[in-house]
Structure 1
Amino acid sequence: MTLLAVSDAATNNLALTQLLDPMYLLQETWLKNAVLPAILAIVFIETGLLFPILPGDSLLFTGGMLAAQENPVVNIWVLVPLVTVVAFLGDQTAYWIGRRIGPALFNKEDTRFFKKSYVTETHEFFEKHGPKTIILARFVPIVRTFMPVLAGVSKMDYRKFVIFDIVGAVLWAGGITTLGYFLGNVPFIRDHIEAIFLLIVFVSILPGIITVGKKLIAKRSAPAVGNDAELASVTENS
């Protein structure tokens, strides 16, 4: 039984590894006969149908790299505009899924894991930080899948969402695919593309993390300061 369990785990890990390996998907499976439709389908599923466990950045980079080969399986002038459009449509789908879910959440009673105030706070967050979040979230795996849903649930202004979602789709889908086309043959970049983008995003949001950290520290120290003041007052009166 133990050997069987180990074998099943190894098989599952191998399947997941292959699923997340765009080079394997696009060159070693039946998808090699439909590279362009496969890339477009995977991008839409990841961004629009709430399925985050798919290759994102690496898929686009690999698509651009394949387009740069001597006998390309896909044309870069077709690939870039199409993945940009599909990335945009995926986010739009997820946004409207969120808009449909939102009213049901507001009608739901508060529980241990869900409170209506969470939705209100999310709405306030997107109204204040939405544009930057929409763009940066594109470059973070899993986050890019659920960000547009949260924007929809919080009923972020749709016009604002569309404008910055277009910018995010162009920079992410079009930009990474283009990078793959020109830099796909550079080993270091090819092997560390997702880590590079995560680092860029982390540096971009670092000021926000510092601000949130300062607020949390201030909230934790506030009761202590209040208790010290109360103790001092009692001491003076006595």
Structure 2
Amino acid sequence: MNGLLLALLTPLGPLALLLLMTVAFAETGLLAGFLLPADTLLVSAGVLVAAGALQLPVWLSLAAVILAAVAGNHVAYLVGRRLGARLENGHTSRFISAQRVDSARAMFDRHGAKAVVLSRFVPLVRTLTPVVAGVTGMDLRRFLGHSLAGATAWATLMFGGGYWLGAIPVVSAHLELIVLSTVGIPALPALAALLRRRLRCKLRGDQGVGVAV
């Protein structure tokens, strides 16, 4: 999915900023983090902007991505609040039980602010954390403040880090290779797990043949 989005970035020109904002929002606001992890996209966009392959104002882009990420968090929080109200009124959920809500509420009472900030740097976890914060009834102003802090640090590290990399002559001279690596590297753990599984199955098959003989 990210490979397709990256292919769209450069041809879009300034409109690429809308794509970055959409992904940053949808990752939490539409609970699409399982399909649209934005880290790779933001790093690659920063590299492309620094190398001059993508014409976007840096500070405006950074502010827009932060705003979109905070808005997505807020929507996910409201979804959690509504779900939490239903649970308190006696409705059940296949995904969240009353006991889990009580446990999550205790966790957020102790570590809520830290969880909201740090979860922004963990794909998938950042998609679910705002929902859990809403379910447990975390104070909205407290949530929004730490959501803003987390989104600011995340966007600065990802987009800003990509921009810093793109300004390095060696990186800008091998732009295509760098962008391809940002797409391929996250897939390496899954590929390694697949290879291990196949090797394990092959070894079991060979052992079975040896026993049969």
TM-score higher than 0.5 here? yes
Q: Does 1:116 align with 2:98?
A: yes
Larger radius of gyration: 1
User: Cα distance, 1:58 vs. partner?
Assistant: 0.8
- Which amino acid is 1:74 matched to? L
Give the superposition deviation at 1:115: 2.7
| Distance verdict in 2 for CA 1:68–1:113, change over 3 Å | closer
CA distance in 1, matches of 2:122, 2:93: 29
**Quick one: which amino acid aligns to residue 20 of structure 2?**
I
CA-CA distance at 1:86 after TM superposition: 1.1
1:76 aligns with 2:58: yes
Q: C-alpha distance in 2, partners of 1:59/1:111?
A: 34
In the superposition, the TM-score normalised over structure 1's length comes to 0.65
Indicate the residue corresponding to 2:17 in structure 1.
36
| CA pair 189-26 structure 1, distance change in 2 beyond 3 A | closer
By relative contact order (CA 8 Å, sep 6+), the higher-ranking structure is: 2
Contiguous gaps of at least 5 residues in structure 2: 187-213
Q: Indicate yes or no: 2:138 matched with 1:128.
A: no
**1:112 to partner: Cα distance:** 8.0
Superposition RMSD on alpha carbons, in Å?
2.6
For residues 137-171 of structure 1, what are the alpha-carbon distances to aligned partners after superposition, in whole Å with 9 as ceiling and x for unaligned?
Answer: 11111111111011001101222212211110110
Number of residue pairs the alignment of both structures matches: 175
CA contact (8 A) 1:81 1:174 kept: no
Deviation at 1:130, TM superposition (A): 1.0
Instruction: Give TM-score scaled by structure 2 length.
Output: 0.72
The equivalent residue for 2:44 is: 62
Q: Distance in 2 between matches of 1:111 and 1:47?
A: 20
- The Cα of 1:59 is off from its aligned counterpart by 1.2
Indicate how the Cα distance of structure 1 residues 70 and 125 shifts in structure 2: closer, same or farther if over 3 A, else same. Answer: same
- In 1, are the aligned partners of 2:43 and 2:162 still within 8 Å (CA)? yes
2:135 partner letter: V
Task: Tell me the percent identity.
Answer: 36
**2:81 touches 2:135 (CA, 8 Å); kept in 1?**
yes
**1:97/1:149 contact within 8 Å kept:** yes
Unaligned residue ranges in structure 1 (runs of 5+): 1-18, 196-238
